[in-house]
Amino acid sequence: MRKVVIASLSLSLALSLSACGSGKDAATLMTTQVTDGVESSITSDGNDLRVTGILLVAQPDGSAVLVGNMVNNAATEDALLGISVGGVLAKMSATTLPLTQNMPVIFSGDSANASAVAVGVNAQAGKHLPVYLFFGRAGEMKLNALIVEKAGIYAGVGA
């Protein structure tokens, strides 16, 4: 009898301490993504690049305009050399975009200081396309970006 009591007590402690007993309303199950955009970072080998809010806005001609931000938190300068969307090299506002420490590069919007358009990707709202960002120092970053329609808060986003 004593072994049964100890086993039952151990099992109930294990479930309650590991939060498995929280049920289907556990806080860890209620996490949500705040934006439609995806995030990623490269924080190895002296790099500290953060990319946030990356998504694509479908244009009437099937092209896609990149929306999002990137910042280099490292003291060593880097540069964005290119962007590939769905296998198509995007046309950027400059051949390379410098990434100086704590100076954000913002794609689209009122405070934008850069732009990137991928022509011929047949962008369709609701789908996803692979986006590759190529950096001079940090290397390559792959994202899976959502395509949104050119409406609502994205109505003014265009090539």
Greatest alpha-carbon pair distance for the chain in Å reads: 77
> What pLDDT sits at residue 50?
97
Q: Which residue has the higher pLDDT, 114 or 20?
A: 114
> What pLDDT sits at residue 11?
65
Alpha carbons 47 and 41: distance in angstroms, whole number = 9
Burial of 82 (0-12, 13-18, 19+ CB in 10 A): middle
Alpha carbons 112 and 104: distance in angstroms, whole number = 10
User: CB within 8 A of 119, min separation 6: which ones?
Assistant: 61, 63, 88, 91
User: CB within 8 A of 141, min separation 6: which ones?
Assistant: 40, 42, 49, 51, 132, 133, 135
pLDDT band at 159 (very low <50, low <70, confident <90, very high): confident
CATH superfamily of 38-154: PCu(A)C copper chaperone (2.60.40.1890)
Q: Taking 60 as the threshold, does the pLDDT of residue 20 lie above it? A: no
Please give the C-alpha separations between residue 22 and each of 8, 18, 53, 157, in angstroms, as whole numbers.
18, 9, 32, 43
Alpha carbons 123 and 159: distance in angstroms, whole number = 13
> Would you kindly state where each structural domain of the chain is located, as residue ranges?
1-31, 38-154
- Segment 46-61, tens digit of pLDDT: 999 999 999 999 999 9
- Segment 89-135, tens digit of pLDDT: 999 999 999 999 999 999 998 899 999 999 999 999 999 999 999 99
* Of 156, 150, 132, the residue nearest 58 (C-alpha): 150
pLDDT band at 78 (very low <50, low <70, confident <90, very high): very high
Q: What's the residue count for the chain?
A: 159
pLDDT exceeding 70 applies to what percent of the chain? 79
